[in-house]
Each structure stands twice: as structure tokens, then as C-alpha cells.
Amino acid sequence: MTKIQAIRGMNDILPEHSPSWQYLESRFYQVVRQFGYREIRFPVLEQTQLFKRSIGEVTDIVEKEMYSFDDRNGDNLSLRPEGTAGCVRAANQHGLLYNQQQRLWYQGPMFRHERPQKGRYRQFHQFGVEAFGMAGPDIDAEIIAVSAALWQSLGLTDFVKLELNNIGSADDRKAFGSALTAYLEQHLDALDEDARRRMHTNPMRVLDSKNPAVQAVLSEAPSLKDFVNADSVIHFDRLLKLLGGLGIIYEINPRLVRGLDYYNNCVFEWTTNKLGAQGAVCGGGRYDGLVAQLGGKATVAAGFAIGIERLVLMLEELQLILEQVKRPVDVYVLAVGAELSELSLQVAAAIRTACPSAGIVSHCGGGKYNSQVKRAFAAGARYAVVLEASAEGEPPGNAKLRILDDSGDTQAMAIEAIPAEIQKLLCEPSE
């Protein structure tokens, strides 16, 4: 019988990698709490129309990458390809937006049918932050500061770069798009098939082309900044001043437009050179028109999303995850001899009570001392508690506490003293 495999691009996260994910998640939770953001959870499945109206019908995501289908009621549904649209729908549906300010965050799986590559998969996971009801550049600065605080917490500040651009209003981009299309029509011979298609449907996406020939043509193309309205310029200039006051270093990237149609004014990306050609690890900006576009009252908004897989990969490759984080087991309780299973479980339970943050494994299944020690080492434990029956088969009154390193130092002590000793070693702060 053929073995069933995972769907291409849908990856399992195995136990040896889970601690890295948990570490990253815990740091993110800590940072968003520091800034006063609250969690919102919404379904992975939404009406397809939600994404067509928000992301844009002529974007690659909607045209080529969404997992969409008709359900048994004949409704066309899609697995969410990003989080902002679902967050807006949920917040608007439940009355969280009108005449209010909200700071929200979410996390979870997203789905896009794109070519799998290192750190990018068809099921991927995102952290997202969304802020509603605040019009000034101060909230733009704040959400960028949230992302900067995460890099600081993870030790990534020196490995990421902030890129910004001012893309103006929808009308500004429409005028620019018309000018860009007219320019590109004069250089058709130098354009690839993708650029020729996009120049009429979504001309700003041509700016993202990775084709050197297309980029050469674009070097003389009209500039978006020449079409941006005065209010957007003032907003952006104030934002830059705020970022400077926070000590956040940035670069202006005039080609940065983001891949979603709902953005306006400030857009940004955090990029790195540690992940190959696809260097973006975080992206976001303002989207003041989206709530109204999805049927709500006009509400200004800003936010960002971070790809979790790429961050985990980056942290692991840079060896920035602490060794103790990778170690799920701190103490391994060995039971050598018949009829010691009950005592082993009791000792493990007592250690957990004394030191709730520690990982404690009670050996199950019997076996000789050497085989149990091998399992303790394989589990990554720092210490082993060894329970051995007497020659007469009587339960022991003492146990051995062994350090699981090359020294193998071992100390004998009363069993009832073991939990306090483990607490001293693992749970009490060092002087």
C-alpha cells in the first residue's frame, strides 16, 4: 500500500524544531504586550470575495495563488492567503472599529499556492499587528517600533534593514500607473511576458520585476514620488522625524510598493541578506481605505505581518536560539529495578511541583541502567535522578543525582531532598 505523504509545500514541524517556534512565539507575545496590543482570532476560511475586494482581483495572490473552492451550499470560499483582510472583517463585524481605537495582533497559518522554496511554503505562518482609528504618523512609527523591538528581543537588530516608501493615495497611484504604462508601451521589446501582462492590469507590480532587462528599462521610468500628494508628503516626512527620534535607522526605497492593493502613504519592509535573494522578513504600512472598501465605516488603519518560517530559519542559521531553549527536558528520572515505576512517577511529580518551569521525564518501560542513561542523554537532560532497588529488591531510601556531562559527577542524597536540590539547581536565580 502506498504511503501517504504530506501535500507539497505543507510542512510538518518536528519536535526538534518546535522549541525554536515556541521561543519566537514567546518573544512576540512579550513584545506586543509591552505595546498594549490585544489578540484577535479569526477563521482560516473566508468568503473569496473578501480577498478579491481587499487584496485586489488583478494581483498574483488572487489570480494564481489562492486555494479557492465551492462548498456544498455553492458558496465560493478561500483559505486565507494573508491576515489583514480577515482581521478587518472580524473587527468590523463585531463592532470593534467605528469611532474607536484598537490595537490588535494575531498569528496563524496562511495559504498560497506558490512555488515552495527555502523558508517559503504553501502553508506558512504569520504574526500580524493591526492598529485602527489613528490617523497620524505616530501610529505608523509605533508599529514600526513594535517590529524593531522584536528584532532587539531576538538579537536580530544587526541583521535586518528597514526600507520605507511613500506610495501616496489611490488616486496618486492611479495617475502614476497611467504614466508608467504609457512609458512601458514605448519599451515593449525589452519587457518580458510577465511585465507586458502587468503593465495593463497592475502596472506598479512591474516595479517588483527581478528581470535585469526590465529593471534596466525602469531606470528611466516616471517616479512615483512625483505623483504623491502634498498631505502624504507631510505625513511621511513627520514619520521619518519620529523614527529618527526613536533611533530607528531606515533607508528610502522608491521601488517599494508592496504586493497588496489596499496600502496607501507609508509602506515598509524589513529585509535581510541572511536568507538568500528573497530577503523580506516583515512588511506592512497604512491602509486607510480598506475598512470602508469591505463595507465598514471609514476607518484609518496601519499594520504589518511577519513570516514565522523565515524568522525561525534565520534564528537557527545565525545560532541565536539559546541552548536551554532547545532542551525540552531538564531532569530524567531513572528507575533501575523491578517495582520502581510508582516511586519514579512520584519523584517526578514532586520535582514538577518544586520547579514548575522545568521539563521532567520519568522513564517508562524498564530496562538496564546504561540504556536508561542513553535515553536521558538523547532527551537532552541536564540531570538524571537514579532510583535503584536494593539487592533484596526493597525500594531505596536514597537516590543519586547525576550531572549529565562528561564529568558524570554524582551525588547521593535522600529521595525527599531531591526536589529541593533540583529547585536550587534549575529554578532559583544565580547570585
Q: What pairs with residue 307 in β-bridges?
A: 126
Q: How far apart are the C-alpha atoms of 140 and 150, rounded to whole Å?
A: 16
Among 144-148, 243-247, 364-368, name the one with the lowest average pLDDT. 364-368
Please identify, in words, the CATH class of the domain defined by 328-426.
alpha beta
Q: How far apart are the C-alpha atoms of 31 and 152, rounded to whole Å?
A: 10
The confidence score (pLDDT) of residue 431 equals 41
Among 81, 21, 25, which Cα is nearest to 54's?
81
User: pLDDT per residue over 23-46, tens digit each?
Assistant: 999 999 999 999 999 999 999 999
Split at pLDDT 50, 70, 90, the class of 67 is very high
- Scored b (16 or more CB within 10 A) or e, 275-285 reads beeebbbbbbb
The winner for highest mean pLDDT among 361-365, 389-393, 395-399 is 361-365
Tell me: pLDDT of 418 over 90. Answer: yes
Task: Please count the residues of the chain.
Answer: 431
The confidence score (pLDDT) of residue 25 equals 95
- Measure CA of the first residue to CA of the last residue in the chain; give whole Å: 60
C-alpha cell at 192: 518580458
- Scored b (16 or more CB within 10 A) or e, 287-310 reads bbbbbebbebeebbbbbbbbbbbb
User: pLDDT per residue over 279-327, tens digit each?
Assistant: 889 999 999 999 999 999 999 999 999 999 999 999 988 988 877 677 7
Return the CATH superfamily for domain 18-169+228-317: Bira Bifunctional Protein; Domain 2 (3.30.930.10)
Split at pLDDT 50, 70, 90, the class of 224 is confident
CATH topology of 18-169+228-317 equal to that of 328-426?
no
Domain ranges of the chain: 18-169+228-317, 328-426
The confidence score (pLDDT) of residue 328 equals 81
With a CB cutoff of 8 Å and minimum separation 6, the contacts of 422 are 331, 351, 354, 355, 358, 383, 385, 401
With a CB cutoff of 8 Å and minimum separation 6, the contacts of 216 are 190
What is the average per-residue pLDDT within 248-258?
A: 89
Among 102, 104, 122, which Cα is nearest to 112's?
122
Distance of CA 209 to the CA centre of its chain: 25
